[in-house]
Amino acid sequence: MNPKRLLIWLLLIVGFSIRIIPLLSNTVHFSFDQGLDIAMVKFLVVDHKLNLVSRYSGFQGILMGPFWTWLLAIPFAISGGNPAANIIFMSLMSVFFCFVTFLIIKHMLSEQLGWLIFILTIFSPIYLLGSGVILSPLPIIFISIFYLWSLWEIFVLKRLSFWMLLFLVIGIFFQLELAVAFFSLPSIIITAFFFKSVSPFKSRYFFFGLGILFLTFIPQILFDIRHNLLISHGFINFLISSTTSLGGSGSNLSARFVERLYSLQEDLRSMALVEPLWFSMIMIIISIIGWKTIFTQKLVKEIKLLYLLLAIIVGFYGSFVLYPGPIWGWYRVSLPIVFLLLIFTPYPILWKNKRLRIGMVIIAIYYMFTIINPFGIWSVLTVKNKGGESNLSSQIKILDYIYSNAKSSNFSVFVYTPPVYDYTWQYVFWWYGRNKYGYLPNNWNLSVPLLGVGKQTLPPKSDQGVFYLIIEPDREHPGNPDGWIKSFIKIGKTIDRKIFPEGIIVEKRTT
């Protein structure tokens, strides 16, 4: 086999193996967001309810399209609804797009830079996050290369047919996280200004692209028509209000400017550099030397790439300054490839300098050791994803205890969970409890108010019989579980009580 092809397969296999560590180590993260997503998938695949929207976005009152639900329907159908299958599915997607990134960077600039970025994306913790936690904005991490590539082809190489790809990518961004899509738009305008582009209105491909973008919104448009323009009203309210569904920052324009500068350096360090600070500074200095060399040698492609990267960064962070709300981490998930290229594009150029080569090898070894060591990759995939009560294996353990304790008798279950909605537990009962033990709790109810499906669980009645309480720890409000028992449960004599290592309490009660 060709050595290069062998290396590609080796990187893909190793990259995939690292990404499924949560599955192999029983640390699959399964909390409120994952419970809501897979409940929607269950209604689509099992109950044949066609979803035209998915969840609320980070912008108040605006619902995202169903693309994420339809995408997760693939591993759901293959696995019979096992939430852990999403890890395998997203890991395959992640390594595939790492390879695609290699091909695109090789096409845009050089094979050497393509290999370097391929290795970095395979092992970088920020890319691993996209498959280790199943959340709709995170796939943008590894598909944003198409956004960058489209801008390169349109504004640098003047291949206007790529307007269609660009608008398709933005449409997918809108489906996965509205904020990313909105903040990506100013970068297009700034890029056009940087490269003195001709008016897009003179290209038929621009209008074809707008048509493609419109098609991605059809499910939401149909939903809006059926529900009295709910999304439209939410969008209008968002435009005329300074609030967001996730709170407001409360800072003025000048304060936000300083805050966004801090976010910029924070993102650069987390997405492309490694700790400690002194090592990050060495990497930046080498990049600056490399970019100076690029300008000295008048390497046109690399210089144009730098302008493109700066246009994207200015577009995003300039928008962040104008936006009054908080800039959450998932609003910036399209930027890792930008920062990786900003730092590492000069490295293959400097490799030709024999005096710098030894130092670069040392830096490369240290860099790879840092991101692969037990406090790098392993912490991303295991420690941070264990999540206690948000661990799928922990939830399965709780169900095994309840069913074994019930001894095949019927029972009801009431759940206290800080996010209020108990999608996660109700789904695990449906997928795991029903399949293994053959029956569901008497009051089982998988409700998703967002879709108008089901109703909230009612309090226990005086003739409830045997029922169990699953009480998750509420670390922000430790007294809330007791208040929930007094106000919602009210009745029942406790006949058994067990505290699990994750902090979850299971009470068996009877009326």
Percent of the chain with pLDDT over 90: 61
pLDDT category of residue 468 using cuts at 50, 70 and 90: very high
Q: Which of 338, 342, 57, 323 is nearest to 186 (CA)?
A: 323
Q: Are 467 and 509 in contact (CB under 8 A)?
A: yes
Q: Which of 391, 456, 446 is nearest to 40 (CA)?
A: 446
Q: What is the mean pLDDT of residues 293-303?
A: 94
Where do the structural domains in the chain lie, given as residue ranges? Answer: 3-384, 388-510
pLDDT category of residue 60 using cuts at 50, 70 and 90: low
User: How deeply is 508 buried, as exposed, middle or buried, from its count of CB atoms within 10 A (0-12, 13-18, 19+)?
Assistant: buried
Query: What pLDDT does 375 receive?
Result: 46
pLDDT category of residue 165 using cuts at 50, 70 and 90: very high
pLDDT category of residue 363 using cuts at 50, 70 and 90: confident
pLDDT tens for 256-282 read 888 898 999 999 988 988 878 888 888
Sign of the torsion formed by the C-alpha atoms of 368, 370, 373 and 378: negative
pLDDT category of residue 239 using cuts at 50, 70 and 90: low
Q: How far apart (Å, rounded) are the C-alpha atoms in residues 41 and 78? A: 13
Q: How far apart (Å, rounded) are the C-alpha atoms in residues 511 and 507? A: 13
Mean pLDDT of the chain: 88
pLDDT category of residue 454 using cuts at 50, 70 and 90: confident
pLDDT tens for 408-430 read 899 999 999 998 889 999 999 99
pTM for this prediction: 0.90
Q: Which of 33, 34, 68, 35 is nearest to 51 (CA)?
A: 68
Reply yes or no on whether the pLDDT at 49 is more than 80. yes
